[in-house]
Homo-oligomer: A and B are copies of this chain.
Amino acid sequence: MKTSENNCRGPMRPPIEFYFDFASPYAYLASHRIDTIAAKHGRPVAWRPFMLGIVFKTTGAQPLVTYPLKGPYAARDLARSARLSGVPFVFPPGFPHATLAAARGFYWLEGKDEVLARRFAKAVFNAYFGEGRDVSGAEAVAAIAAALGVDRTAFEAGIQSPAIKERLKSETEGALAKGIFGSPFFLVDGEPFWGADRLDQVERWLANGGW
> In the complex, are the beta carbons of B68 and A194 less than 8 A apart?
no
Which stretch, A57-65, A95-103, A110-118, A161-169, touches the partner chain B?
A57-65
Q: Which A17-76 residues have a C-beta within 8 angstroms of B?
A: 58-61, 67-70, 72-73, 76
Are B73 and A68 closer than 8 Å at their CB atoms?
no
| Chain B CB within 8 A of A197 CB | yes
A119 touches B (CB below 8 Å)? no
Copies in the complex: 2
Range for the number of chain A residues in contact with chain B:
20 to 34
A13 within 8 A of B: no
CB of A70 within 8 A of CB of B181, answer yes
A195 at the interface (CB under 8 A from B): yes
A67 near B61 with CB under 8 A, answer yes
A204 contacts across to B, CB distance below 8 A: 84
Question: What residues of chain B lie closer than 8 Å to A198, measured between beta carbons?
Answer: 77, 197
CA distance A192 to B179 in the complex (A): 30
| Contacting pair B182 A70 (CB below 8 A) | yes
Q: Does A170 contact B (CB under 8 A)?
A: no
Question: Which residues of B sit under 8 angstroms from A195, Cβ to Cβ?
Answer: 197
Chain B residues contacting A194 (CB-CB under 8 Å) are 70, 73, 77
| Residue A160 is within 8 A (CB to CB) of chain B in the complex | no
Q: Select one of B61, B73, B84 contacting A181, CB under 8 A.
A: B73
Query: Is there contact, CB below 8 Å, between B84 and A211?
Result: yes
Which residues of the other chain, B, contact A81 by a CB distance below 8 angstroms?
A: 201
> What is the chain B residue whose CB lies nearest that of A195?
B197
In angstroms, Cα B171 to Cα A23, docked, is 36
A179-B77 Cα distance, complex, nearest whole Å: 13
* Top 10 A-B pairs, shortest CB-CB distance: A69-B181, A197-B197, A59-B68, A70-B181, A69-B179, A59-B69, A84-B211, A83-B211, A73-B194, A73-B192
